[in-house]
Amino acid sequence: MQKIIYILTLLSLSFTISAQNSDKIKMNKFVDDLLNKMTLEEKIGQTVLYTSGYDVITGPTVDPNYKEYLKKGMVGGIFNGVGADYTRSLQKIAVEETRLGIPLLFGYDVIHGYKTIFPMPLAESCSWDLDAIENSARIASKEATAEGINWIFAPMVDIARDARWGRIVEGAGEDVYWGSLVAAARIRGIQGKDLKDRERAMACVKHFAAYGASMAGRDYNTVDVSLVELWNTYLPPFKAALYAGSATIMTAFNDLNGIPATANKYLLKDILIDKWKFDGFVVSDYTSVNEMIPHGYARDEKHSAELSMNAGLDMDMQGGVFMKYLKELIAEGKVLEKDVTLAARKILIKKYELGLFEDPYRYSDSKREKTDIMTAEHKEAARDMARKSFVLLKNDNQVLPLTSGKKIALIGPMIKDKREIIGSWSAMGDRTNVPVSIYEGMVEAVGEHNLLYAKGCDIESDDTSGFEEAVKTASQADIVVVSVGEFHNMTGENNSRAGLDLPGVQLQLLKKLKETGKPIVMVLMSGRPMTITWENAHLDAILDVWFPGTMGGAAIADVLTGKYNPSGKLTVTFPQVVGQIPLFYNHKSTGRPFDASTNYGSRYWDVSNDPLYPFGYGLSYTTFEYADMKLSSETITKNSPLKISVKVSNTGKYDGEEVVQLYTRDVIGSITRPVKELKGYSKIFLKAGESRIVDFTLTVDDLRFYNADLEYVYEIGDFSVFVGGNSQKTLEGKFTLK
């Protein structure tokens, strides 16, 4: 019987493989036949991407003539245009009015939800729940494809270690291990298993590469990182996304070690093609081709088109330079026609895989607009993700969760807000009345009769006239919940800040409220780590809710009232002061690590080297204890992995979840190695009083890194291993790699 099953399995596997091969052969034949019919102008047309004037504008230029270019078959895709009717109208022009009727791609920035807005990606990463993160991307893709979109410019996977950089909000934080897992999960969520699935769009992993290392945290600034740092820190999430199947990749605005990413042959050919065998296509960022002129790398637009096409770029987003100059450059022998044909081919392949040649209108389905958007399931998923993304930073004297029957003063500019709460890059999310404010969430949770309210101040102004009413309101309550933070557009693209304090007079308001002597809970709404040192020293509780999305207020109420016990853990380090930046947990030791016993340890005169809150940190309403760390051996070899176990106990009075984290340190390496590196995690649920043995397995492959010769190696020698609830408070063990 076993033999029959084995044979049947082999047969079905071979049928599957041969079916896939025949599909591939069919696709290649279709695309090659089409290419053979295409003129040079039509091939160039496929490499052109224009923004419509329909929706938001996400860059410095808009060419109103995109429809004219479209009618001439000179455009391969349109972005920033949504809706079944609108996309159908443009698709109709491409399919019915051009010579070959090649359908369009429709791209859009769906970064954390389309209509049902989820927490910002950085917030989602603090949930340490990959299934929830994948589901969030799946829902975003489902809603976007219900409104004509078949290409999503996400996920952003840039590792970021500088909270001044506004785009830190769009990624998964500072760690390469976790950032790589999140990148792959978001690709799975957006694309699913088959691009022909009408509910899934093509993904576009971005921004390639090292954009998060923008100098001084100022967006669009220069990036200068060593190749070892590029390979060990900034490239792995891109590799993870591409190996998870990302159909496309977007180049970054920055220059990388002197060469703009958009024309960086090392990135686009040596790495993407030669090493990673990427078979999708590469799109520039918004006019990043043209911007090689101000970079001082291209003489003019024609030169920028030559440089980027020859470096491996396939599609020009909004620059118009491929459309204008490629034919001329080919005639002059500066660009090879075969490269343009190859670029067009890659784009046509993706259109074929999306099913656009079978049915160009498959995503422009007005029926789905009515059934697949803002459903109860989607809103519940957004509320659940928001709850999981919140990080409890402080909770002295267990002031949280709020006890019922108490009079609660809700104070601050974020309490009744419905705009900031959905953050930046909020696609087609409603910005006026649909989002649930904190006030509305709390009314639903505890009843309006238990609530008092005062705005107190604006997010950013010097107007303190609201303080008196706020203080009076606070004095009438048993406990004060004050919600402060940043504008949604103080993070996101080109929204960097040189200081990370609360804007305006919000801190002054907090100090006034502190004088009332009432217990104060701060609900922080922002897109980055903030230097909330006074707040940490003087307030009773701090809950970081980031920008929690459409259901944010409901989720905040769920946590404040104890309906959900917070479980989020930071994926970015909070500095004490901005002067410490860049500050991250997996730093190098240096030759003079800080040592209080000597004057010659790396330090500042005016502040300790410690973060305000470390990577991996987050409190719960209960407490967890770690004990009995055990290693299966003192050594690890290629053939014998190492098992690490630890006993985790819930020693408090609430059931709760804990993210158990596993770190290693390669003590001596052929290059200096970080003092800690995340190598595993396990999010567990423990009932009050419950204990559990948590097991991890390490293999030598988990200990690989890129050495000075950029070889991906592990090295014999001593290692430390750490397990704990954050990157600073851990149990430690030692082993040797032999």
Binding site for ligand GLC (CB under 6 A): 58-59, 109, 153, 206, 285-286, 493
Q: Give the end-to-end CA distance of the chain in Å, rounded to a whole number.
A: 44
Please spell the DSSP secondary structure of 92-114, one letter per residue. HHHHHHSSS-PPPEEEE--SS-S
Angle at 167 between CA 166 and CA 168, to 5 degrees: 90
* Distance (Å, whole) CA 41 – CA 326: 9
* Distance (Å, whole) CA 442 – CA 436: 10
DSSP-based three-state secondary structure for 619: strand
What's phi and psi for 208, nearest 5 deg?
A: -85, 110
Q: Tell me if 426 sits within 8 A of 495, measured CB to CB.
A: no
Min dist. Cβ of residue 163 to ligand GLC (A): 19
Instruction: Choose between 155 and 614: whose C-beta lies nearer to ligand GLC.
Output: 155
Whether cis (ω within 30° of 0) applies to the bond prior to 207 is: yes
Instruction: Choose between 76 and 724: whose C-beta lies nearer to ligand GLC.
Output: 76
DSSP-based three-state secondary structure for 687: coil
Please spell the DSSP secondary structure of 5-29, one letter per residue. HHHHHHHHHHHHHHHHHHHHHHHHH
Angle at 667 between CA 663 and CA 668, to 5 degrees: 145
Instruction: Choose between 129 and 285: whose C-beta lies nearer to ligand GLC.
Output: 285
Min dist. Cβ of residue 233 to ligand GLC (A): 20
Min dist. Cβ of residue 219 to ligand GLC (A): 9
* Distance (Å, whole) CA 263 – CA 599: 47
Residue whose CB is nearest to ligand GLC in the complex, by number: 58
Min dist. Cβ of residue 156 to ligand GLC (A): 6
Instruction: Choose between 84 and 250: whose C-beta lies nearer to ligand GLC.
Output: 250
Instruction: Choose between 80 and 567: whose C-beta lies nearer to ligand GLC.
Output: 80
Instruction: Choose between 58 and 620: whose C-beta lies nearer to ligand GLC.
Output: 58
Return the H-helix or E-strand segment holding 316. strand 316-317
What's phi and psi for 68, nearest 5 deg?
A: -65, -45
One-letter-per-residue 3-state SS of 366-413: HHHHHHCCCCHHHHHHHHHHHHHHCEEEEEHHHCCCCCCCCCEEEECC
Instruction: Choose between 164 and 206: whose C-beta lies nearer to ligand GLC.
Output: 206
Min dist. Cβ of residue 109 to ligand GLC (A): 5
Instruction: Choose between 286 and 719: whose C-beta lies nearer to ligand GLC.
Output: 286
Min dist. Cβ of residue 525 to ligand GLC (A): 23
Residue from 162, 285, 544, 558 carrying the catalytic annotation: 285
Instruction: Choose between 320 and 680: whose C-beta lies nearer to ligand GLC.
Output: 320
Min dist. Cβ of residue 379 to ligand GLC (A): 26
* Distance (Å, whole) CA 681 – CA 725: 10
Instruction: Choose between 155 and 312: whose C-beta lies nearer to ligand GLC.
Output: 155
Within 10 angstroms of residue 27's Cβ, the number of other Cβ atoms is: 15
606 is catalytic: no
Q: Are strands 730-737 and 635-636 parallel, antiparallel or unpaired?
A: parallel
* Distance (Å, whole) CA 402 – CA 397: 12
* Distance (Å, whole) CA 88 – CA 70: 13
Min dist. Cβ of residue 169 to ligand GLC (A): 12
Name the nearest CA neighbour of 654 among 356, 398, 312, 380.
Answer: 398
DSSP-based three-state secondary structure for 275: helix
* Distance (Å, whole) CA 439 – CA 128: 28
Min dist. Cβ of residue 137 to ligand GLC (A): 15
Min dist. Cβ of residue 205 to ligand GLC (A): 11
* Distance (Å, whole) CA 570 – CA 393: 9
* The dihedral formed by the CA atoms of 599, 605, 606 and 610, expressed in degrees to the nearest 10: -50
Burial 339-349 (b: 16+ CB within 10 A, else e): bbbbbbbbbbb
Residues classed as catalytic:
285
